[in-house]
A and B are shown apart, each in its own frame.
Chain A
């Protein structure tokens, strides 16, 4: 601190400043730490003391230089890493755009692409890759989206004018259900990623989210709107145009695992939980036993994770990376992610009792370290006694 103080005071006087500017790592505070001679009006130092002071001065300068060099190197390294990261994202964008996307069918399953995929899809191509990977088994066209949306709008209008009951009863669904569903959508939209402030009333994506969810209840009245859907639709909206987001949304929900959950097919959900437990025991036997002892069943934490595809429980950037690999590997990856989370926090969790585990897992820490998190997922083996997920 002493150096800094004197440094600041004397810096302009330093004759060596110009020379030092050219150094690679310019030591800052030492620049002006000058060993002054004692003012002439005072008696001179004894030679021995002067020698000692000089030595001390030199040591201080050396130390300070060392420290500053180290810090400068650290800064340089950080900068390099950032540049490298930006370069690699830039390169990845090029690879995705120029090589992979034009040759999707042939390349999407190659090893190289799968590895690149695991690293996370660059945000600028993410939507395209998700769309391609999710596919459009249902053959939904933009026109169909417009039709569904028009119907939804009609319903909203008739609801607000009070003529709904007759119409809806005709369709075989009770008016109350419908109304509840439509009203619920309205209610939930403003509760979807509230801190992003873009889906709330008056926000830029409020109407888009409303439209997609409304159109879906007209497209699949048997499924309707189920809480948790608004988060999935929101993540898609952030990465795709409206009609494409609707197509991805409908196809995504049509996958067997998502259908089982969103129709709240309890029996099928239990089958999924049971399969999950097989892999849980295989991968984390100690924690599994601890959970068993505490009667902590997977439904406690999995329901939220699976329903919202982690978009509500993980930070958004991490959730998107989970979605990336979910698009690559399918439902299996959702359960692998769950095991990755359990593994990452295994040590903490084994020290907790039922309620604290439940609390912890339903409200994960906000500062999840992304690299560690994905490393943890990577170590999870989705093979049990030579059986793969689908077989179990």
Chain B
């Protein structure tokens, strides 16, 4: 339904439906589904392995506006890689999730970033690097500094979270929402750019058959 609204008709001059597609990417069992579940239901349970993609919605009200998140929680196994690009197409934001107790999951997140950089221009997507499982600090293999440093060089948002103990989960999504709104307002204040961006938005949202 929300898709029927034509872009650019709202009084605020920003995306009127304010639906933002957020995609969760990362290795298997780093906690993508758990982060989404914690954020949307504020609960933690053992998730089944995701096959394909599962979906969540969440609406967030900030001082600067309202953001409706459409969360796409993707399958983590590398073998699913070839179908995963179906899922991040047209995303407004991406969470690259790794597990702080498994070093190679950060490398995998870096590979995801490379994929995203191929698909999107830097101002088209908000990307956050998320080191999950801070509740397992004793088994940590990736230092906070390492994640932070990488995020800084690539201009990504960064937080270390725990879906299990509910640490900074809301905060990372809120940070993404703020960044999204901030970008939209920047675009709205530059009229020519704004028109371009709403057109792009329309195309971006096209989830046409990938064939």
Contacts and interface: CB of A to CB of B under 8 A. Distances in A.
A362 interface: yes
Given A191-B47, A297-B208, A297-B210, A362 B52 contact: yes
A386 to B, nearest CB: 24
26 contacts: A184-B28, A187-B29, A191-B47, A194-B48, A227-B28, A227-B76, A227-B79, A264-B79, A264-B80, A264-B83, A266-B83, A273-B209, A295-B205, A297-B209, A299-B52, A299-B83, A300-B52, A303-B51, A304-B51, A304-B53, A356-B57, A358-B53, A359-B54, A359-B57, A362-B52, A362-B54
Interface of A: 176, 180, 184, 187-188, 191-192, 194, 224, 226-228, 230, 264, 266, 269-270, 273-274, 277, 294-297, 299-304, 307-308, 312, 352-356, 358-359, 362-363
Contacts of B19: 355
Given A184-B28, A295-B206, A297-B210, A307 B48 contact: no
Contact of B210 (A184, A270, A304, A356): A270
B49 interface: yes
Contact of A359 (B51, B55, B81, B104): B55
A241 to B, nearest CB: 26
A361 to B, nearest CB: 9
A98 to B, nearest CB: 40
Given A266-B83, A294-B3, A188 B49 contact: yes
B1 A353 contact: yes
A226 B77 contact: yes
A264 B3 contact: no
Contacts, number: 102
Nearest to B1: A353
A262 to B, nearest CB: 8
Interface of B: 1-3, 19, 28-29, 46-57, 70, 75-83, 86, 104, 205-211
Majority-rule SS of B interface residues: loop
A312 to B, nearest CB: 6
A355 B48 contact: no
A252 B139 CA distance: 40
B211 A270 contact: yes
Nearest to A194: B46
A277 B55 CA distance: 22
A227 B77 contact: yes
Given A227-B28, A274-B209, 4 more contacts: A297-B86, A299-B210, A301-B52, A355-B70
Nearest to A270: B211
A27 B121 CA distance: 78
A-B residue pairs, 10 tightest by C-beta: A303-B52, A295-B207, A353-B1, A358-B55, A304-B52, A359-B55, A228-B51, A304-B51, A227-B77, A227-B49
Contacts of A228: 49, 51
Contacts of A295: 3, 205-208
A353 B49 contact: no
Given A269-B83, A362-B53, A354 B210 contact: no
Most buried by B among A184, A269, A274: A184
Contacts of B57: 355-356, 359
A191 B75 contact: no
B53 A227 contact: no
A322 B187 CA distance: 51
Contact of A303 (B53, B81, B211): B53
Nearest to A294: B3
Given A227-B28, A296-B207, A353-B3, A312 B51 contact: yes
A359 B207 CA distance: 16
Nearest to B46: A194
Contacts of A363: 54
Contacts of B3: 294-295, 353-354
B79 to A, nearest CB: 5
B49 A300 contact: no
A184 B77 contact: yes
A41 to B, nearest CB: 67
A300 B79 CA distance: 17
B115 to A, nearest CB: 15
A363 B86 CA distance: 20
Contacts of A277: 209
Most buried by A among B19, B49, B76: B49
Nearest to B73: A362
A356 B56 CA distance: 9
